Chains A and B, each alone.
Chain A
Amino acid sequence: MFSFQTILDNFPVLLSSARYTLLISVLGCFEGLVLGAVICAGALSSKLWLRRIAALYVSFFRGVPLLIQLLAAYYLLPVIGINVPALVAAVLTVGLCAAAYLSEVLRGSLNAIPKGQAEAAAAIGMAPRDVWVRILLPQALKIGLPAIVNELILLVKASSLVTVVGIVEITRMSQSIAAATYRPLEIYLAAAFIYLAINLVIAQAGRVLERRLTV
């Protein structure tokens, strides 16, 4: 028998574990966007060595499974004398990985902006920083918004991988509760519902932002 009561009983606990999912997603997303912009700037630099580093970064963090990256961060960092809490290691790693994908999204979006946009800014004597902040990034964000929203949703789901370093977020919590209550169906449905709710909010925010950026 499907037990709705089981869902109701365990929902508060599940929901409270969602704070780790949210924390990792939000901080990872922020880190990913900022670092992604930096990497993208490197990839588009006129300096060969910067382009090389950016390319190496992207191929590493896209090429190695996040699970391995998390384990590596968790087990390797202490070996080289860096002791950070699992949560910090997890947020950092998720953000580093997201940055690789987001930098590529940004790079594609920037390439879609006509050259004349930056030229018009350069022609009036605008400094490169202002050209980036005022002219290029706002347009790149708009062009890349659907793809960025995609990446953020993937990031929320990927945050379930941090269980491997012992963080009890939604997925891990639902596994424990399912094992304890022998009600996997109900519990996993509840977990799915929470993920869905988070991602619907992101998708909706993306749509609102997109509409506001469209003129």
Chain B
Amino acid sequence: MTIQHAAPAAAHLRNVNKFYGPFQALTNVTLDIPPGKVTCLIGPSGSGKSTLLRCINVLELYDSGEVRIDDQLIGYESPGGKHMAPRRLREMRREIGMVFQQFNLWPHMTALQNVAEGLERVRGLTRAQALTRAREALAKVGLADKENNHPSHLSGGQQQRVAIARAIAMEPRIMLFDEPTSALDPELVGEVLGVMKQLAAEGMTMVVVTHEMGFAAHVADRVVFMERGEIVATGSPREVFDAPSDPRLASFLQGYRERNSLDF
């Protein structure tokens, strides 16, 4: 495949706080996301996982603290300073791919155009170049034969794979996944996780919010457990799943095991 991965980037969060009105969604979040590794975010619903992820590409602007991609501050011109200029923010976002729970494919475009759109409008490729690269990206997620389908004529798993193709075609240096399989029928989860595993194996920096504990256990390099807007525990999958030191983490995992009654 000719889709190259640009050098994977690290991300660093320092004392990040995020408020929605009076409600504090993130409290003093400090987290280092190492380059070329898979970091999984787990935790109960409403614990701030999506908010944390969206602060990394500033779909939500954090209120205080620092978020850096490699050494580059994102969101503000300087720590505690002015908001970053929109143009500069857009430049940084090109390097950060994002995959959403609801896919968010553009329904009025074919799968191919969904992938080519950013290449043309953002990367400035010619139409021919964009289509070539979009086809490569679709081939990479196993959907070369679906390029002319509109999203409504694709299964959920196929839609999410197109969404991944749309992100990787931009050659991001870090990829954010917000519950990429939560909207899928169980039998379609595997094909999406398969593509993600392949990306991980190629050395992409990945931050994955997930309820797929099996994926976290087997693919993650680090697992981060959040509760009430705070990072409660981090560690290797072994440390987190086999010997949870924090009682809140232990009870979260206990609840998960009872609901799913399977081992990981």
Contacts and interface: CB of A to CB of B under 8 A. Distances in A.
Interface of A: 114, 116-117, 119-128, 130, 134-135, 138-139, 142, 213, 215
Contacts of A127: 90, 121-122
Interface string B134-166: 000000000000000010110000000001001
B167 interface: yes
Given A120-B106, A124-B97, 10 more contacts: A117-B106, A120-B98, A122-B93, A123-B57, A123-B97, A125-B91, A125-B93, A126-B90, A127-B90, A138-B108
Given A134-B117, A215-B152, A125 B104 contact: no
Contacts of A122: 59, 93
Given A134-B121, A135-B106, A124 B100 contact: no
A124 B163 CA distance: 11
A213 B107 CA distance: 10
B121 A123 contact: no
Contact of B121 (A114, A119, A126, A215): A126
Contacts of B153: 215
Contacts of B106: 117, 120-121, 135, 139
Contacts of A123: 57, 59, 93, 96-98
Given A123-B59, A142-B108, A215 B102 contact: no
Nearest to B98: A123
A212 to B, nearest CB: 11
Interface residues of B, number: 29
A175 to B, nearest CB: 46
A130 B109 CA distance: 14
A142 B57 CA distance: 30
The 3 tightest CB contacts between A and B, nearest first, are A116-B104, A120-B104, A125-B94
Given A119-B100, A120-B100, A125 B90 contact: yes
Interface string B58-76: 0100000000000000000
Contacts of A117: 104, 106
